[in-house]
Amino acid sequence: MVAIAIPAENAEELKAAGVKDSKELSPARRRELYGFLKGFPFFAVPISPREIDRYNINVLEERAIIRALKGLKGIVGPSFSTSRIVIDKFGQPRMLRQELRDMGFRGELVVTAGADESYVEVAAASIVAKYLRDARIRVLSSLYGIEGSGYPHDHKTLEWLRRTIASGKKPEIIRYSWSTLELFGIKVPKKGESSRKTLDEFM
């Protein structure tokens, strides 16, 4: 999860540079744009596969967003309190508004679906997040031999998963609540069956 501070006067500059939804960009292009975007203040919060297996994903996303915004506030200082915060919609936020008030935030909060397509600042955050993910995959490749992009549509990743599962190994980098694992005979809890923790338990 990434929060980035983009001054309003830089929005057109970002658009002219080609900043848009990271899903529309190749890894090479994201790497180029990261070189430009890292000049803006940002704060990243990772979410591990183990956390996703254990907790409700909406809970994790909300807590990660709050942590990222707190981190960003520490970097940008007083201007944080009167800024506009735009967030790509993620389920039903329960703590976000109160946490922001507690941080002294008095600006405009926008939580909307498809924000990475409509707001250049959210697109910028998505590029930074995706670049950091790409970099992490490269590290995991060197440590665990993971192949491909790590996404379920990637045949190299699926083949690596198949071999790893067949060998009896259970590396911690795999999300075991991932429905893709059912392809390899692993039972994954369905909605309503999961014992993953709720927000109150997580807090």
Tens of pLDDT, residues 86-102: 999 987 888 999 999 99
Q: Are 130 and 153 within one domain? A: no
Going by C-alpha positions, the residue among 99, 102, 104 that lies closest to residue 78 is 104
Full domain range(s) for residue 170 = 146-202
Q: Which of 111, 138, 165 is the last residue of a domain?
A: 138
Q: Are 95 and 174 within one domain? A: no
Q: Are 9 and 70 within one domain? A: yes
What is the structure's pLDDT at 202? Answer: 32
Q: Which of 116, 138, 160 is the last residue of a domain?
A: 138
Q: Are 183 and 108 within one domain? A: no
Residues 6+ positions from 147 with CB-CB distance below 8 Å: 141, 156, 157, 159, 160
Low-confidence ranges of the chain (pLDDT < 70): 189-203
Q: Are 154 and 57 within one domain? A: no
Going by C-alpha positions, the residue among 108, 34, 42, 93 that lies closest to residue 69 is 42
Question: Is 83 in a helix, a strand, or coil?
Answer: coil
Output the domain CATH number for residue 187: 1.10.10
Q: Are 116 and 179 within one domain? A: no
Alpha-carbon span 28 to 131, nearest angstrom: 9
What is the structure's pLDDT at 194? Answer: 43
Which residue is associated with the tokens 């692993």? Answer: 186
- Contact predicate 19/127, CB 8 Å: yes
What does each C-alpha distance from 155 to 18, 23, 98, 140, 161 come to in angstroms?
29, 18, 43, 17, 10
Q: Are 194 and 99 within one domain? A: no
- Contact predicate 5/120, CB 8 Å: no
What is the structure's pLDDT at 190? Answer: 60
Q: Give me the number of domains the chain comprises.
A: 2
- The DSSP letter of residue 8 is G
Q: Which of 120, 138, 156 is the last residue of a domain?
A: 138
Amino acid at 38: K
- The DSSP letter of residue 9 is G
Q: Are 96 and 192 within one domain? A: no
Q: Are 65 and 154 within one domain? A: no
Q: What is the pTM of this model?
A: 0.84
Which residue is associated with the tokens 């919609």? Answer: 89
What is the structure's pLDDT at 199? Answer: 37
